A = this chain, B = another copy of it.
Amino acid sequence: MKVVTFGEIMLRLAPEGYYRFFQNDRMNVSFGGSEANVAVSLANFGAESVFVSKLPAHAIGQGAVDSLRAFGVDTSHIARGGERIGIYFLEKGASQRGSVCIYDRKNSAIQQAFAAEFDWDAIFDGADWFHFSGITPALGANVAEICRIACAKAKEKGLKISCDLNYRAKLWTRDEAKAVMTGLMGYADICIANEEDAKDVFGIEAENTDITGGKLNKEGYVSVASQLAERFGLEKAAITLRSSISASDNDWSAMLYSKDGCHFSKTYRLHIVDRVGGGDSFAAGLIYALLAGKNDKDAVEFATAASALKHSIEGDFNRVSVNEVEKLAGGDASGRVQR
């Protein structure tokens, strides 16, 4: 299976452990970004994974390329040029103190990309699936247009298309998001979201659900998913469900909707090591599971287990194998030593 993802990869700078920013003089440096996270996860699942983006030609841009190549992600279609890579600063929260994320991503190379830099015909050669998130078109009109061109080409070549709504209020307004995303969703077969995304982008709401308090309203989610599916003619819509008890403990589950029915995964009580990239790991798990031919129930369990494991791993990337996910999805959540 071959999957193409398109988006931004950023330099991530995070103080060690639970230190607040500049509490000491070290930061952990890694790379991450919604679609890059999906690409790495898929490569770890054994898929042929192609990540498309634009990165500066200097050593910092090269670091991002190398971080992807280490997992076997195909980086040969990443355009090189522009002046900077986007950066985000992450301070990990604990107990009642939430994580803090400060973005410094303006004017990044990908935001200065132009359509001619990407040969989608070549990129999609032999590919089965195209995935992007709502962050990509939010990077600018040019990037949204490249995204549209990619969608059109993917459709033409018969690829499945998935989109993770991923609304980022720092990048665009709800009105801008709605206008652009409505257009792009016309190409999508599968939509991934959390309840807030659907509301933020399209004004689609589930009733009686309190995302802070952690009580889940199953009917509400089914309603959101069916509205999404109906409005955009989707094959499937998936919603991830996070209940934040504290920065250290979350409950995590998901549901997958299709016309044939709706499946809720089991719920995991997570002791969080790093929650960034949790949604991306779900998307990757879902894409893998569907391409591998799993039915909806097994697919949502696989995707939820994959993303549950992500929360135990430092960094944006989900460093787990299919075997590890299957073991957890199959019911062994005891975390016993594998000797």
* CB pair B93 A312 closer than 8 Å: yes
What string of 1s and 0s marks CB contacts (under 8 Å) between A66-89 and chain B?
A: 110111100000000001100101
* CB pair B22 A63 closer than 8 Å: yes
Name A30's contact: one of B25, B30, B169, B328 (CB within 8 Å): B25
Give the CA-CA distance A23 to B308 in the complex, in Å.
19
CB distance from A67 to the nearest CB of B (A): 7
Main secondary structure on A side of the interface with B: loop
Given contact pairs A95-B272, A95-B312, A337 touches B101 in the complex (Cβ within 8 A): yes
Contacts of A95 in B (CB 8 A): 268, 270-273, 308, 311-312, 335
Within 8 A of B (CB), among A289-339: 305, 308-309, 311-315, 319-320, 324, 328, 332-339
CB distance from A106 to the nearest CB of B (A): 7
Does A13 reach chain B (CB closer than 8 Å)?
yes
Binding site for B on A (CB under 8 A): 13, 16-30, 58-60, 62-63, 66-67, 69-72, 83-84, 87, 89, 91, 93-104, 106-107, 168-170, 212, 214, 244-249, 268-273, 275-276, 305, 308-309, 311-315, 319-320, 324, 328, 332-339
Other than the given A59-B89, A96-B312, A100-B337, 7 more pairs (CB < 8 A) read A20-B59, A27-B27, A66-B72, A84-B104, A94-B312, A99-B337, A246-B269
